């Protein structure tokens, strides 16, 4: 019976010693682990976050201690330099799960953020923003210049006119020429004068004279602007001493048309009786005067 009790005591003592050793070992291990964890957490959070956030270079180095996996800390630190905001976010994930969340967070979230969001933002939004403004020209204008010249012209449809006294009736009743058309173009208001070249006809019989004022000039308007009028004259006979106004207009015209007819009144035909068999002549000049 004593032997059994001794044995039980020895066994109990060994068991007690073993428990003490296990407790001591467990305590020691627990203290060491707590010390490691505290040290790692203290250095990781203090140095990793503190320096990493404020100083990118120191944050990368000390980030190795911040998370339980140094390599993951470096990953977060490096990403912290590339993208500050993503680096801090990834660092928090690294403290929760260093191996999976840390590496995955740094690689997928960090790099993806920089590549897809950052680069895509610069490529799509940036480039598209620069090419969006329209450069189409929807209107235009031009300057038109009109160069206007100043013109004046007087044109006669026939430069030669003839009065025939070739029968008795014409000597009795008088005779006249075929009408000549006079056309006026003028950039300004105008007047037209007429003047015979000499007092007497040319080519008359020897020792005879025939006065040019035996000829009447009959003027009529056939077409043109309303401002064009026939001038009032004291007599219709040709004048040689001074030019005589025959028509006028107070406005410019492109085409005022007049009819000019030379006539020998019946009262004046006797002046031509002794010019039988001859053709006598004179010259009348018409002058356009811009006013």
DSSP letters for the chain: -HHHHHHHHHHHHHHHHHHHHHHHHHHHHHHHHHHHHHHHHHHIIIIIIHHHHH-HHHHHHHHHHHSSSHHHHHHHHHHHHH-HHHHHHHHHHHHH-IIIIIHHIIIIIIIHIIIIIIIHIIIIIIIHHHH-S------------------EEEEES-S-------SHHHHHHEEEPPPEEEEEEESS-EEEEEEES-SB-BSPPTT---BGGGSEEEEEEEES-TTEEEPP-S-SB--SSS-EEEEEESS-EEEEEEEEEEEEEGGGGGGGGGGTT---B--EEEEEEE-
pLDDT of residue 132: 66
For residue range 176-233, list pLDDT tens digits in order: 999 999 999 999 999 999 999 999 999 999 999 999 999 999 999 999 999 999 999 9
pLDDT of residue 130: 59
Segment 247-269 shows an average pLDDT of: 98
Does 85 lie in the same domain as 206? no
pLDDT of residue 33 exceeding 80: no
pLDDT of residue 7: 39
pLDDT of residue 129: 53
Residue 225 lies in a domain: yes
Segment 132-143 shows an average pLDDT of: 87
- Output the pTM of the full model: 0.55
Does 61 lie in the same domain as 19? yes
Does 198 lie in the same domain as 118? no
- Total domain count, the chain: 2
Does 244 lie in the same domain as 191? yes
Does 191 lie in the same domain as 93? no
- Average pLDDT over all residues of the chain: 71
Does 14 lie in the same domain as 61? yes
Residue 50 lies in a domain: yes
pLDDT of residue 186: 98
Residue 162 lies in a domain: yes
| More confident of the two residues 109 and 145 | 145
Segment 92-113 shows an average pLDDT of: 40
Residue 100 lies in a domain: yes
Does 170 lie in the same domain as 83? no
Does 205 lie in the same domain as 280? yes
Residue 140 lies in a domain: no
Does 96 lie in the same domain as 50? yes
| More confident of the two residues 88 and 210 | 210
Q: What is the span of the domain harbouring residue 175?
A: 152-290
Written as six digits, the tokens of 226 are: 């309303």
Confidence grade of residue 18 (pLDDT, cut at 50, 70, 90): very low
pLDDT of residue 199: 97
Q: What is the CATH number of the domain that holds 238?
A: 2.60.40
Confidence grade of residue 135 (pLDDT, cut at 50, 70, 90): confident
């Amino acid at each position: 019976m004593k032997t059994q009790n001794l044995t039980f005591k020895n066994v109990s003592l060994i068991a007690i010693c073993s428990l003490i050793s296990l407790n001591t070992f467990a305590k020691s291990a627990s203290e060491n682990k707590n010390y490691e964890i505290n040290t790692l957490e203290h250095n990781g959070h203090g140095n990793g976050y503190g320096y990493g956030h404020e100083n990118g270079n120191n944050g990368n180095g000390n980030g190795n201690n911040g998370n339980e996996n140094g390599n993951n800390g470096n990953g977060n630190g490096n990403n912290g330099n590339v993208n500050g905001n993503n680096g801090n976010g990834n660092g928090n994930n690294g403290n929760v799960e260093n191996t999976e969340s840390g590496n995955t967070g740094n690689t997928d979230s960090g790099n993806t953020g920089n590549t897809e969001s950052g680069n895509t933002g610069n490529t799509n939004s940036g480039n598209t923003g620069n090419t969006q403004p329209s450069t189409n020209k929807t209107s235009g204008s031009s300057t038109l210049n009109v160069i206007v010249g100043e013109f004046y012209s007087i044109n006669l449809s026939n430069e030669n006119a003839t009065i025939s006294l070739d029968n008795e009736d014409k000597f009795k009743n008088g005779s006249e020429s075929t009408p000549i058309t006079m056309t006026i173009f003028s950039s300004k208001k105008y007047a037209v004068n007429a003047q015979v070249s000499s007092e007497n006809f040319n080519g008359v019989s020897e020792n005879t004279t025939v006065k040019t004022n035996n000829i009447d000039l009959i003027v009529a308007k056939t077409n043109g602007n309303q401002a064009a009028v026939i001038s009032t004259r004291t007599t219709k006979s040709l004048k040689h001493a001074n030019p005589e106004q025959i028509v006028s207009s107070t406005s410019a015209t492109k085409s005022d048309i007049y009819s000019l007819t030379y006539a020998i009144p019946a009262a004046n035909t006797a002046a031509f009786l002794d010019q039988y068999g001859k053709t006598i002549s004179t010259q009348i000049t018409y002058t356009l005067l811009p006013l």
